[in-house]
Amino acid sequence: MPFKTNLLLDALTDVECQELAPHLWRIELKQHQVLCNVQEVVTKIYFVNDTVVSLVVPLSTGEVVESAMVGRDGVIGAAAALDGRLSLSRAVVQIGGQSLACDIAPFKSALAKHSHLLRLVAAHEQVLFAQAQQSAACNAVHNIESRLARSLLRAADLRGGHELPLTQEYLSEMLGVSRSSVSVTAHTLQQAGMLKYVRGHIRLLDIPALQETACECYQAVKLNYDALVQPESNVISSVTAER
């Protein structure tokens, strides 16, 4: 599988790669694209590469709250292959980019044949559940500045780079706060030299300072991934590690 860039795919055995390779195809995902919606039957899964996808809970008011983020370390829709069938959240592309897609039927067949792949996917879904729990605690307790720093660091890890094409409006939706609150907070971080924000584009400049500003949830999510998924893959690394 010479086109592997998703870290879960990198963790597969040669036999598992041979099983899945004929069923994978490249797809370009656009920002704001909805991959699946609440109570919708999942027909495809996505191994995202330089893309970042938000799993959000839509409310009757039209607002949405982000519960988890998935990027190059994960897969969207895999729970359907574990007999989940229906999506319980809306998957929205936060940062567009490349992905590999697969119909659900051949992926489900591969899970039935390969116990290593099944364990890997089950661990990944457990991590998403833990991330949703962490997000609920974070939204209830932590201030906007620490939450924004956490979200930006997480997006950088998942995309594999420090350049993030994100608008303040979109960040406000994901954090569940007003746009003006995000604007003031982003300005504060920019004045402190942690980032540079220009017209919907954010560049992370001072990673150690952002890590100091971020709440404990940033490290907690990474530790959960390391504990549950990394023993299977042994390839996950953070692009926002101190240098």
| Residue type at position 86 | L
Q: Where are the domains of the chain?
A: 7-114
The CATH number of 7-114 is 2.60.120.10
Supply the pLDDT for residue 199: 81
Give the angle subtended at the CA of 133 by the CAs of 117 and 190, to the nearest 5°. 105
Supply the pLDDT for residue 118: 93
The answer to whether the beta carbons of residues 73 and 8 sit under 8 Å apart is yes
Q: Provide the token pair at 165.
A: 């094409």
Mean pLDDT check: name the lowest of 6-10, 48-52, 206-210, 231-235.
231-235
Mind listing the pLDDT tens digit for each residue in 33-89? 999 999 999 999 999 999 999 999 888 888 888 899 999 989 999 988 888 778 888
Supply the pLDDT for residue 204: 96
Arithmetic mean of pLDDT, 92-97 = 93
Mind listing the pLDDT tens digit for each residue in 102-161? 999 999 999 999 999 999 999 999 999 999 999 989 988 999 999 999 999 999 999 988
Q: Which residues of 63-91 are buried (b: 16+ CB within 10 A; e: fewer)?
A: ebbbbbbbbbbbbbbbbbbeeeeebebbb
**What mean pLDDT is reported for the chain?**
88
Q: Is the pLDDT of residue 236 over 50?
A: no
* Alpha helices (runs of H) in the chain, residue ranges in sequence order: 7-10, 14-20, 104-113, 115-141, 144-159, 168-175, 179-191, 207-213, 217-228, 230-233
The answer to whether the beta carbons of residues 132 and 229 sit under 8 Å apart is no
